[in-house]
Chain A
Amino acid sequence: MIQIYTKIAAVFIFALMLAAPVSALELGDKAPKTDVQMKNAAGEQVSISDIKGENGTLVIFTCNSCPWAKAWEDRIVEIGNEFQEKGIGVIAINSNDPSVNSEDSFDVMTQRVSSKGYNFPYVVDPGSQVARAFNATKTPEAFLFDENGQLVYHGTVDDDAYNPNQVEERYLREALQAVSNDNKVAKQKTKAIGCTIKFQDA
């Protein structure tokens, strides 16, 4: 009898999950799925909790194949390396299904980490579960949490992917500076065109 109730409850919960509206992580929210173990380029398992910084934590969903992620990659590496030194935990996450585009494979990730000089982990999101929990939709997409673990910035890197020398607003850098200095982030939500995340089947 208990088994039947359990089954009914499971079906009910599942139905609720299907019906639940998809909404992005809101400002003030805590990071979900912080204990999911994700493989970095060195083959070690790393979670968001593991890299949490004393001043804040930056989670960037990115990939190897998207032209916008590529265009911003040098800036992402530069910003990530710099702020990791300033007490911000930094992690880049590839949630794309590599069977959609082989450029998003683990091997290419390891090549990028060494050729681009990532000093922070670039990891594989198993089953795209972390991206789903964040309701991330595209690459690149950044989520910055303050020292209390609350979301204070959600958006893009800056206002010009294609022309690095024509950037007028360095949204992510400014948000990181604010968080590092314990100030309020001025622009908390920004947008840019990007590639949809190619979610793996759950």
Chain B
Amino acid sequence: MRQVTIPVLMMILMMFSTCSNQSEDASQSADQSMQQSGSAIDTSQIQLQKATASDVLQVVQESDASVKMVNVWATWCQPCREEFPDLLQLRENYNDQGFDLIFVSADFEGELPQVKQFLADHQVDFTTFMKTGKDMEFINTLHDEWSGALPATLVFGPEGELQDFWQGKADYAKLESAIKPYIQ
């Protein structure tokens, strides 16, 4: 990622904290599937960075994992919400075997509080990203054949080379078979 100066970081932090204060009503109307039985983490602990498609691809290139999966999702996207737990399960099972999961939320910028709440409810304690900038450039930079429909998933091999791409929901078996050949 680009070097972020401290003032910018502070501004972002201030913005995030203001947003989460305003978010209480919105987050209560959020999807019921978010209500998990386990102890949710606090939204203030959520590490969410704004990213362009180039930023996302740079994260992929800089990752030393042997297989990287980029999943573009949104809080309002039903199939995204449905596959989210499977993606987390995949990470849980393979993170220590060279698998890196990179979530990118494509929610509207004003939905930042809902995004943080969703991530907190799912106890996402690792850094994830939120799309910034115009759609078309974002879509085409990630993959030419992507229509923009959510969710979209890309799989990259050890050298950051694209190995697989699909749009629409996948089940656990499909997710696992996409990364299995690259697991150490």
Contacts and interface: CB of A to CB of B under 8 A. Distances in A.
A190 B147 CA distance: 9
Contact of A156 (B74, B79, B148): B148
A194 B136 contact: no
Contacts of B139: 191-193
Nearest to A136: B147
B108 A161 contact: yes
Interface in B121-151: 131, 134-136, 138-140, 146-150
Given A137-B167, A191-B136, A67 B76 contact: yes
Given A156-B148, A191-B140, A196 B108 contact: no
A52 interface: no
Contacts of B134: 159-160
Interface in A23-64: 24
Nearest to B109: A162
Contacts of A160: 134
A195 interface: yes
B135 A193 contact: yes
Contacts of A190: 136
B73 to A, nearest CB: 11
B85 interface: no
A193 B109 contact: no
B150 A195 contact: yes
Looking at B139, B140, B149, the one whose CB has the most chain A CB atoms below 10 A away is B149
A21 to B, nearest CB: 12
Interface residues of A, number: 23
A196 B168 contact: yes
B108 A162 contact: yes
Nearest to A66: B76
B78 interface: yes
A162 B140 CA distance: 19
Nearest to B75: A67
A111 interface: no
Contact of A195 (B109, B138, B149): B149
Nearest to A154: B147
Given A100-B78, A162-B108, 15 more contacts: A101-B78, A137-B167, A156-B136, A162-B109, A191-B139, A191-B140, A191-B147, A192-B148, A193-B135, A193-B150, A194-B147, A196-B79, A196-B167, A196-B168, A198-B78
